[in-house]
Amino acid sequence: DQQVKQNSPSLSVQEGRISILNCDYTNSMFDYFLWYKKYPAEGPTFLISISSIKDKNEDGRFTVFLNKSAKHLSLHIVPSQPGDSAVYFCAAITNTGNQFYFGTGTSLTVIP
């Protein structure tokens, strides 16, 4: 049962434009959400997170938006750079758990 879903397996964006990666979840008990970036043959690295008490968190070129009513979050990267090309995973965790639930990932390609 996939509780965190990333329905777009891939995305291509021109350099300098905005990249928008989407993530949906089904478990209303999730209260903390994270985005990870993964290069081939490497472990994922933490990128940005957001608590359910917020609807937006910004860190440099990266902004995460949370819409709790729609059970939807998105990661905006602007401006996109070729070095952003990677697989992006969203993840969620409940307020009582230690288990992280990951989406299936979206492969972002930023075209120079």
Partner 1 sequence: SQTIHQWPATLVQPVGSPLSLECTVEGTSNPNLYWYRQAAGRGLQLLFYSVGIGQISSEVPQNLSASRPQDRQFILSSKKLLLSDSGFYLCAWSGTSGRADTQYFGPGTRLTVL
Name the minimum Å distance from CB 79 to partner 1. 26
Closest CA to 76 of 54, 108, 32: 108
Q: Which residues pair with 109 in a beta bridge?
A: 12
Q: Is residue 34 close enough to count as binding partner 1 by CB under 8 A?
A: yes
* Candidates 14-22, 42-50, 57-65, 76-84; binding stretch for partner 1 (CB under 8 A): 42-50
Chain residues 74-103 in contact with partner 1, contact rule CB under 8 A: 89, 91, 93, 95-100, 102-103
Which stretches of the chain bind partner 1, using CB under 8 A? 6, 32, 34, 36, 41-46, 49, 89, 91, 93, 95-100, 102-105
